Amino acid sequence: MIESYTAGHTPLERTLAAAAVLVDLLRLADGDQAAVLGFDSEAYLFRELTSDRDALHVTLSRLPTGRQSRLDLGIEYATVELSGSRHRAGNAPVMVVLTDGPAEPVGPAVAEQRAVEAKRLGITIFTIGMKFGLRDDPRTNLDREALQRMASTPDHYYETNDSRALADIYRCVAAALPCPSTVFWGHRP
């Protein structure tokens, strides 16, 4: 994501701008929460679950990148955060997993198992595969079938080769987010 394939911004910059769109679509003032995690050779919790929109935007603007994709650790850390004490009771736990390459150095089977464990805990998982660079470059191959299996349902998997289209994908994700009945029914019991 750090290499520039198009004039102007790098794919990472466009990807982070798209993630900011998702943050803006969340109902943080009504109790929604979001966290920012990253993964390369390890996983990192950059911002714990919060309703602070400004803090989330600042975190996204400073998100680093790496060369590996430990999807398994990313899913594991997100599961811990979503099932931990910072998760607000009543909020539906949702994980959005974005990757631009194959699961490495650990293959996708471990990440798939972590996703199964997360889904058993009631976590809804959306997966997004970003395809950058040359078609035949093995560094840009996606574990498409694994990402589809990690997602909660087939329509929770998205793929694009255009970081500018990612904002539209995040809009679709935001529209599909589970909504508590108290919000859906206008706070009526």
How do the domains of the chain map onto residue ranges?
Answer: 11-184
Q: Cα separation of 14 and 122, whole Å?
A: 31
106-110: long-range contacts at Cβ-Cβ below 8 A with a sequence spacing of 24 or more?
Answer: 106/70, 106/72, 108/71, 108/143, 108/146, 108/147, 109/146, 110/72
* 149 confidence band (pLDDT: 50, 70, 90): very high
Residue 122 has pLDDT above 80, yes or no: yes
pLDDT at 138: 53
Q: Cα separation of 189 and 178, whole Å?
A: 18
More confident residue, 9 or 121: 121
* 103 confidence band (pLDDT: 50, 70, 90): confident
Residue 80 has pLDDT above 80, yes or no: yes
**What residues pair up with 39 in beta bridges, in sequence order?**
43
Cβ neighbours for 49, distance < 8 A, ≥ 6 positions apart: 33, 34, 35, 81, 82, 84, 86, 87, 88
Q: What is the DSSP letter of 1?
A: -
pLDDT in tens, 17-70: 999 999 999 999 999 999 999 998 999 999 999 999 999 999 998 888 777 889
Average pLDDT over residues 127-131: 91
Cβ neighbours for 37, distance < 8 A, ≥ 6 positions apart: 43, 44, 45, 46, 74, 77, 78, 81
Residue 1 has pLDDT above 60, yes or no: no
Q: Is the CATH number 3.40.50.410 carried by domain 11-184?
A: yes
pLDDT at 185: 37
